[in-house]
Amino acid sequence: MKTIGIYPNPKRDAELLCTRRVIEILIPYGASFLAPKKLAPLLGDMLPREAFVEEKALFSQSECLVTLGGDGTILSVAARAAEADLPILGINLGHVGFMAGLEKKDLQRIHSLMTGDFTLSSRMLLSCRLGDGEEMLAMNEFVIAPDKGFHIVELSLYTGEKKLCDFRADGLIFNTPTGSTGYSFSAGGAVMDAEFDAVGVKAISSYLLIGAHHMIFSPETVFTVKNCRSEGSVVTVCADGREEKALTAGDELTISRSKKRVKLITFEPQSNHEVFFRKF
């Protein structure tokens, strides 16, 4: 790889010291860089003027994207990277970093990016459509819940044309294997191997017994969610804790595996379970 996109999280790399170190390590290997325009005042002494581009160009013209932050930083770019078929190398500057391919203490190993000594892990995304509206993508999960706490959401869940059940709970999570170590796990869900495709469904503080279980479905399953309502609060669907849309009682959501995928760069192939036990 020659053209590296740099995407630091200023909250995690406030003075861009790690970002600068990445550039210093890779330049002797012949790397060129693209960075968001907003970083020009901070990195203009290290990179030429033409290296600073709009984010659309950053995703379309880079050969890989190096993020510096935590899992949240990776999630913030995952959908756009998938659209551009752009591999992501996450450098963990956060607390956990399940998806990161490199820890801050191992930063020197990033030269392997230029020698091709790395592995690509292909991760599924979930797709969600509200009626015939625009597609939303999630790498971790979609959460259907009231926009204000302490209200029960009521909804009906269908798989294909068949009604599976009715839920009364604080919310409902649809998670990928990658997202099984996130919100779903906190709600009592199982940790799934991120190297295979599946869809997890987990109710949050369910009023009914069925919601106490984490149900895992084939990746081919197409879910329809109907009759979303909650007294005294608006029901929303939220993608990876970021993009959010409000629902009304008559709306129908369709959730399924997306045709797009995220490619994560790792230097040591490892399962979600290995990472899970190492981190905790």
pLDDT, tens digit, for every residue of 220-261? 999 999 988 888 789 999 999 988 999 987 889 999 999 999
Q: Which pLDDT does position 2 carry in this prediction? A: 87
Q: Which pLDDT does position 231 carry in this prediction? A: 82
Confidence of residue 78 (pLDDT cuts 50, 70, 90): very high
Give me 22's structure tokens: 């990445």
Confidence of residue 143 (pLDDT cuts 50, 70, 90): very high
**E strand or H helix at 77:** helix 71-83
The rounded mean pLDDT for the chain is 91
Most confident of 16-25, 203-212, 269-278: 16-25
Confidence of residue 114 (pLDDT cuts 50, 70, 90): very high
Give me 213's structure tokens: 């279980």
Per the residue annotation, which of 13, 45, 71, 147 is the catalytic one? 71
Give me 86's structure tokens: 């752009």
Q: Which pLDDT does position 276 carry in this prediction? A: 59
Catalytic residue list contains 71 = yes
Which whole-number Å values give the CA distances from 241 to 137, 164, 183, in the listed order? 12, 26, 10
Which residue segments constitute the domains of the chain, with CATH numbers given?
A: 3-117 (3.40.50.10330), 125-259 (2.60.200.30)
Q: pTM of the predicted model, to two decimals? A: 0.92
